[in-house]
Amino acid sequence: MRLGLAVIVAGMPETRRLLDTINAWWDAIQILIITGATNARTETANTSIKQIKRAGRGFSNEANCRARILLRSAARTAA
């Protein structure tokens, strides 16, 4: 493996850690290269949910909180 040789030649702890990380994740990296499948949609949904929950913080009135969350999510969907 050419990368392994480059890591040995470099002789730096950072390059060794990089090689270890690549080796640990290589199966997932190969799947991404071959299929192009990622978990980007899941991560996007999780981020959107967190942002919507943040928009509702600080409201003591549940109806106002719900309205704020619904307006925020509707604005995201429309954009």
**Angle, nearest 10°, between helix axes 13-35 and 2-10?**
160
- Residue 22 clears pLDDT 90, i.e. is over it: yes
Same domain, 26 and 45: no
Dump pLDDT digits (tens) for 66-76. 787 778 777 66
State phi, psi for 36 to the nearest 5 degrees: 75, 5
Overall domain count for the chain? 2
Same domain, 73 and 52: yes
Same domain, 46 and 70: yes
Q: Which two tokens stand for residue 21?
A: 């990380």
Which domain, by its residues, includes 67? 40-78
Same domain, 44 and 73: yes
pTM of the complete model beyond 0.95: no
- Residue 79 clears pLDDT 60, i.e. is over it: no
Confidence of residue 50 (pLDDT cuts 50, 70, 90): confident
